[in-house]
Chain A
């Protein structure tokens, strides 16, 4: 009778072979002295060979080329995603905070400006460490455990300093509108709210866009910091790729130059565009 129960198969030495660490030493002891001498010779040869390894820069570069798609697709794209979401959240919160900084009520003003100053004066990395280490990595509810991916925490960590700086931009833009306009609007019987939304704010958008883009460039240049906290972005992946290529020191130049270049290629056009916009929107006196 034939069936498929594996338990009925006969013992197959190849299938059930286990690695026995003592086997090699047993074999070495039982084998003749010739083998022993041969192995001794090999062990002497190994460091000599390792020292004379000729790992050249061309080989390093070829090894690097193999990793480029991964570095870009799952590394740099994550950097961009982090910077994008952090900018969105930071801008939304920053606009609210910035408007609160020019509020009529003194308590709101003091609160908003102290929050702004607090988050502007803290190094980004310190804030990132605080957020990444003190926030939970999973949330447990009654029936389920929700894992929080570490890059979302990074987004939150970046959005706080961005919030503070956007808030300063909004305040500066509103303050840059001459006071005479407020008075003119008041004399035309505009209420404070109407003056704000219909007269002052429309002038502010143009002034806010160049510094806002500048901060986006600064933010995207700050994203590699999260590699210190283990988020799998371009620098973390570069390190892992170098480890996979046996950590040859020749690999460092291509990998890190690539990281520099890709950020340059991303941020330089933004900087150029910002300068062009600044020129176009400059207030003509």
Chain B
């Protein structure tokens, strides 16, 4: 036992309200580490898929067919005006019934999409609906003459979208995109509602195991989430500065 662990054991003895159980107990420590691992994994996956959803939606919004545009508009309005938490519950409990099941050991029937999978799907769609609007505003900011120039050079719609409009649009809408993605990382905690073992869930489990560890667990949650979100906010603003179009914007 190291002096570090010894210190917190003694602290728990002398100050029963400050029981930093996750610093000296293997089980609780592994809980916290799994929680951080899951939070980061969930964040990375949802950020990636929400950007994909946003790109596809923005591309569909510029399409000629009215049906496609209406579908995207309905999708955006639905996901923007309903609570993400209820979306999670609806996806996991209500739509989860209809997914096929497989059985790994011949006895259990496990749905193909786990609660983690549903959390990724529903949160990506939620943030994706915001991303569609963000990308659309970026696309609108690209001058029409640039688009026409691409057309005159023989680019088709897909090529001009991926090779000309997107690189420009991405740099224009990066600030609002970052804002939304930070918001998304904060929303991943709501996966607690469908028992995804991310940091909040694990912290509450630790608290349920040791009720004396309440203050310590709450402090840990506060600091870790502040650090994760702060790190993302800092790195994204650094990226913004790096990719800034010279002479564009403030």
Contact = CB atoms under 8 A, between A and B. Distances in A.
Interface of A: 118, 121-126, 129-130, 133-134, 217, 221-225, 227-228, 235, 249, 252-253, 256-257, 259-260, 263-264, 267-268, 271
Given A235-B89, A263-B82, 15 more contacts: A126-B200, A126-B222, A130-B221, A217-B81, A221-B81, A221-B84, A222-B85, A224-B83, A225-B193, A235-B86, A253-B94, A256-B94, A257-B94, A260-B82, A264-B82
A124 B210 CA distance: 24
A223 B186 CA distance: 15
Interface of B: 77-78, 80-87, 89-90, 93-94, 97, 182, 186-190, 192-193, 200, 204, 207, 214-215, 218, 221-222, 225-226, 229-230, 233
17 contacts: A121-B229, A123-B187, A123-B200, A123-B229, A130-B218, A134-B215, A221-B83, A224-B85, A225-B85, A235-B89, A249-B97, A257-B90, A259-B86, A264-B78, A264-B81, A264-B82, A271-B81
Nearest to B191: A125
A97 B233 CA distance: 21
| Chain B contact residues: helix, strand, loop or mixed | helix
A129 B221 contact: yes
Contacts of A126: 189, 200, 221-222, 225
Contacts of B229: 121-123
A125 B192 contact: yes
A271 B80 contact: yes
A121 B218 contact: no
B87 A260 contact: yes
B193 A228 contact: yes
B226 A129 contact: no
Nearest to B230: A121
Contacts of B192: 125, 228
Given A224-B86, A264-B78, A256 B222 contact: no
Contacts of B78: 264
Which among A227, A256, A257 has the highest number of chain B CB atoms within 10 Å? A256
A133 B86 contact: no
B18 to A, nearest CB: 13
A130 B81 CA distance: 27
Which among A121, A225, A228, A264 has the highest number of chain B CB atoms within 10 Å? A121
Nearest to A217: B81
A257 to B, nearest CB: 7
Contacts of B189: 123-126
Which among A123, A223, A252 has the highest number of chain B CB atoms within 10 Å? A123
A122 B83 contact: no
A148 B116 CA distance: 35
Contacts of A256: 86, 89-90, 93-94
B243 to A, nearest CB: 22
Contacts of B85: 222, 224-225, 227, 235
B116 to A, nearest CB: 17
A129 B94 contact: no
Contacts of A259: 86, 89-90
Contact of A268 (B81, B83, B94, B204): B81
A263 B86 contact: yes
A242 to B, nearest CB: 9
Contacts of B89: 235, 256, 259
A125 B190 contact: yes
A230 to B, nearest CB: 13
B80 A123 contact: no
A256 B193 CA distance: 14
Nearest to A124: B186
A121 B237 CA distance: 14
B127 to A, nearest CB: 13
A134 B93 CA distance: 30
B207 A133 contact: yes
